[in-house]
């Protein structure tokens, strides 16, 4: 939810919903997480055994007097056993962690998809496809370290040092503090990596990455234009600009982080740890306050002390990225759907009324300015008007893509906002100009809005829409997968979407420029099919063709978001107003045609 989303905010006066916290999202998997963490901790602690075994072996060997062979071999055995336990536990933890990760990711993606499927179309249309695709895809994947690695590593990073430190403290507290120096140095560097400037860079980095994704989608979709206008081989400059911007931000981020990263790695590296312990140890041994053999556990455990911290630091970038990804996931999950009614009303009949409907995509810029309109069952209402007069917006209120900002749309006596989604879509279907065919079989594409239709019904709808013959010519007829095995031309896609609407058989049908692409023969046939299917239906159509306008029962002339004229086409012509002028301007073109 961004601050720019003013229209959205206005729609819901309630306090902004921050979205579920990550912990809530993960709650159902609590048991699994606990098991992973326990295994990881047991493994990590068992990993100390071989180190202690070496120290113990050293003590035995360096002890004055005869060597206690039994003790030496016992130490070796204990070390080997510890290693084995560690092997089992850490492998098990990682294995279960990754399995759990896959399951959690699936559930995240399903929740996101479900939420996006209920988000207002208005909200979706303000978002870029690339940005949302990234949330469902890459962002969910980026949560991986949180699930598969971080919990175990985080806990071990505390438990292992605690156990080691307790042991070392018991031997010599001064050398323990010296051993801690590398770790403390590394930890001291962390805040430097999280200064506002650094965080800002990282945020910009993420944005730039989303920008590249958008530019790539746009580039591929607009490739025909790129080829025709892009000056031949030169790549579209927006794509390149997004890439250049990204490279800049990346290098700026790296310049800031590289010295810190290198310093951290050096501080945690074995040579540095050994150097610190040896320097301190030499001083203490030289002044006689430390037995040389007591140096050994510090050398060994000191190395073990930094490893978990190094592992954390190693995954630091990933964790940061994961946190930002979770933020974006929460933003999407926080989007409110168009509110569902608490007590859904079932529409009685299918008379449609628009009562003083006002609507604007942004506040202060109304597209519809007080529309009163009744659509009677069994009639065809044609909407005409210049481009930008609000025709497309008006028809999109019927399938409730948006709710009016003022007034109401009433279907069968009930406000659309009081009708359950299922009932609404069982009553209203539409054919809009932007036909989206899915990469699925032809039959599935036709039955998209009527999932349970059988093949006979699908074929019948296809025949009515005059696409049946063409479908039979496809490699596998109705089972041909569009976009993979075959493609359809614009007109064919248009006819397929008409078949889609005919199949649903809803009593209210909304058409937008539907027959425009089809060739004259098809167009005529489709018009006949629609008329035949008319019966008791309520039909609202954005009309382009004289024929459609002349055949309509009522014509509504829109101008600048308001109804300028309405009535039967013949009456309106006789009135000699705006519609008549409009009609003549088309008829002139018609004459030209003759």
Is 204 a binding residue for other proteins by CB under 8 A? The answer is no
384 near other proteins, judged by CB under 8 A: yes
Q: How far is the CB of 15 from other proteins (least distance, A)?
A: 26
Nearer CB in complex with other proteins: 10/244: 244
What's the min distance (Å) between Cβ of 406 and other proteins? 21
The residue range among 3-11, 31-39, 168-176, 228-236 that interacts with other proteins, by the rule CB under 8 A, is 228-236
> Cα-Cα-Cα-Cα dihedral of 421, 423, 424, 426, to 10°?
120
Residues 56-95 that bind other proteins (CB under 8 A): 57-58, 61-62, 67, 69, 72-73, 75-76, 79-80, 83-84, 86-87, 90-91, 94-95
* Nearest to other proteins of 223, 346 (CB atom): 223
Stretch that binds other proteins, among 14-22, 29-37, 120-128, 327-335 (CB under 8 A): 120-128
Query: Residues 434 to 453: which contact other proteins by CB under 8 A?
Result: 436, 438-440, 444, 448-451
Q: Residue 125 interacts with other proteins (CB under 8 A)?
A: yes
- Is residue 387 a contact point for other proteins (CB under 8 A)? yes
Is residue 54 part of the contact set for other proteins (CB under 8 A)? yes
C-alpha to C-alpha distances, 347 to 60, 394, 414, 421, 431, nearest whole angstrom: 90, 20, 6, 12, 22
Instruction: Tell me the C-alpha to C-alpha distance, in Å, between residue 336 and each of 107, 116, 136, 409.
Output: 19, 9, 17, 21
CA gap 513, 434 in Å, rounded? 10
* Least distance CB 474 / other proteins (angstroms): 9
239 counts as binding other proteins under rule CB under 8 A:
yes
The terminus-to-terminus CA distance of the chain in angstroms comes to 56
What are the DSSP calls for 376-424, one per residue? -TT-EEEEE--TTSSHHHHHHHTTTSS--SEEEEEETTEEGGGS-HHHH
Site string for other proteins, 6-45 (x = CB under 8 A): ----------------------------------------
Least separation in angstroms between CB 196 and other proteins: 22
DSSP 587: H
Given 4, 23, 64, 234, the residue binding other proteins (CB under 8 A):
234
DSSP track, 10-32: HH--SPPP----HHHHHGGGHHH
Site membership for other proteins, residue 573 (CB under 8 A):
yes
Q: Counting contacts by CB under 8 A, is residue 146 touching other proteins?
A: no
Look at phi and psi of residue 100 and say left if phi exceeds 0, alpha if psi is from -120 to 50, else beta: alpha
Q: How far is CA 43 from the centre of its chain?
A: 36
Going 491 to 493 to 498 to 503, the CA torsion angle's sign is positive
Q: Does 472 bind other proteins (CB under 8 A)?
A: no
Instruction: Report the distance separating Cα 555 and Cα 541, nearest Å.
Output: 10
Contact with other proteins (CB under 8 A): which of 2, 221, 531, 576?
221
Q: How far is CA 571 from CA 372, 449, 554, 566, 575, in A?
A: 20, 38, 10, 9, 6
Angle at Cα 468 formed by Cα 454 and Cα 498, nearest 5°?
Answer: 80
Binder among 36, 53, 326, 410 for other proteins (CB under 8 A): 53
- Told to check if 504 binds other proteins by CB under 8 A, we report yes
Site for other proteins in 241-260 (CB under 8 A): 243-244, 246-247, 250-251, 254, 258-259
* Pair 334, 141: CB distance under 8 Å: no
Selected from 386, 528, 531, 575, the binder of other proteins by CB under 8 A is 386
48 binds other proteins (CB under 8 A): no
- Write out the binding residues for other proteins, residues 346-365 only, by CB under 8 A: 365
Burial of 172 (0-12, 13-18, 19+ CB in 10 A): buried
Query: Of 160-199, which residues contact other proteins (CB under 8 A)?
Result: none
Site for other proteins in 392-411 (CB under 8 A): 392, 399, 401
Q: What residues does 373 pair with on adjacent strands?
A: 354
Sequence-distant (≥ 6) Cβ neighbours of residue 194 within 8 angstroms? none
Interacting residues with other proteins between 506 and 565 (CB under 8 A): 513, 516-524, 542-547, 549-551
Q: Does 137 bind other proteins (CB under 8 A)?
A: yes
Draw the binding track, 271-310, toward other proteins (x: CB under 8 A; -: no contact). Answer: xx-xx--xx-xx--xx-----xx-xx--xx--x---x---
Q: Residue 118 — φ and ψ, nearest 5°? A: -115, -5
DSSP output for 503-570: HHT-SEEEEESTTSSS-HHHHHHHHHHHHHHHTT-EEEEE--SHHHHHH-SEEEEEETTEEEEEE-HH
Supply the minimum distance, in Å, between the C-beta of residue 284 and other proteins. Answer: 9
Interface map 313-352 toward other proteins (x if CB under 8 A): -x--x-----------------------------------
């Amino acid at each position: 939810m961004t601050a720019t989303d003013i229209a959205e905010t206005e729609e819901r006066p309630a306090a902004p919903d921050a979205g579920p916290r990550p912990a809530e999202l993960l709650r159902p998997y609590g048991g699994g997480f606990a098991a992973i963490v326990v295994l990881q901790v047991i493994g990590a602690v068992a990993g100390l055994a071989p180190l202690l075994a070496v120290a113990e072996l050293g003590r035995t060997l360096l002890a004055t007097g005869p060597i206690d062979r039994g003790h030496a071999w016992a130490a070796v055995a204990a070390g080997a056993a510890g290693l084995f336990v560690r092997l089992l536990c850490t492998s098990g933890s990682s294995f279960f962690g990754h399995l759990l990760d896959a399951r959690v990711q699936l559930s995240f993606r399903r929740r996101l998809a479900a939420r996006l499927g209920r988000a207002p179309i208005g909200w979706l249309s303000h978002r870029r496809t690339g940005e949302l695709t990234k949330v469902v895809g890459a962002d969910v994947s980026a949560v991986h370290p949180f699930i598969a690695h971080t919990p175990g590593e985080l806990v071990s990073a505390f438990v292992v040092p605690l156990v080691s430190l307790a042991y070392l403290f018991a031997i010599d507290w001064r050398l323990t503090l010296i051993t801690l120096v590398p770790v403390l140095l590394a930890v001291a560097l962390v805040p430097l990596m999280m200064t506002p400037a650094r965080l800002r860079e990282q945020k910009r980095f993420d944005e730039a990455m989303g920008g590249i994704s958008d530019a790539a989608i746009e580039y591929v979709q607009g490739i025909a234009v790129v080829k025709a206008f892009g000056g031949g081989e030169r790549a579209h400059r927006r794509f390149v600009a997004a890439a250049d911007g990204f490279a800049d931000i990346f290098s700026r981020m790296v310049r800031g982080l590289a010295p810190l990263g290198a310093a951290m790695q050096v501080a945690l590296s074995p040579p540095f740890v050994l150097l610190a312990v040896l320097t301190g140890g030499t001083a203490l041994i030289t002044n006689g306050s430390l037995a040389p053999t007591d140096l050994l556990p510090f050398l060994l455990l000191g190395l073990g002390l930094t490893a978990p911290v190094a592992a954390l630091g190693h995954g630091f970038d990933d964790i940061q990225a994961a946190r930002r990804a979770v933020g974006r996931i929460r933003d999407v999950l926080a989007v409110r759907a168009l509110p569902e009614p608490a007590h859904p009303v079932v529409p009685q009949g299918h008379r449609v009324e628009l009562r003083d409907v006002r609507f604007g995509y942004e506040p202060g810029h109304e597209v519809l300015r007080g529309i009163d309109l009744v659509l009677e069952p069994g009639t065809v209402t044609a909407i005409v008007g210049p481009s930008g007069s609000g025709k497309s917006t008006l028809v999109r209120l019927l399938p409730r893509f948006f709710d009016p900002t003022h007034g109401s749309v009433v279907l069968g006596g009930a406000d659309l906002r009081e009708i359950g989604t299922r009932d609404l879509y069982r009553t209203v279907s539409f054919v809009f100009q932007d036909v989206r065919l899915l990469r699925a079989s032809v039959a599935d594409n036709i039955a998209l809005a009527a999932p349970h239709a059988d093949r006979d019904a699908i074929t019948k709808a296809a025949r009515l829409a005059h696409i049946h013959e063409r479908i039979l010519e496809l490699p596998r007829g109705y089972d041909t997968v569009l976009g993979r095995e075959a493609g359809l031309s614009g007109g064919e896609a248009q006819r397929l979407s008409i078949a889609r609407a005919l199949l649903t058989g809803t009593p209210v049908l909304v058409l937008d420029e539907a027959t425009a692409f089809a060739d004259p023969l098809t167009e005529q046939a489709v018009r006949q099919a629609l008329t035949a299917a008319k019966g008791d239906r309520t039909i609202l159509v954005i009309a382009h063709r004289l024929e459609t306008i002349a055949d309509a029962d009522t014509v509504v002339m829109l101008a600048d978001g308001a109804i300028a004229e309405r009535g039967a086409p013949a009456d309106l012509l006789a009135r000699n107003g705006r519609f008549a002028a409009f009609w003549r301007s088309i008829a002139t073109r018609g004459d030209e045609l003759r």
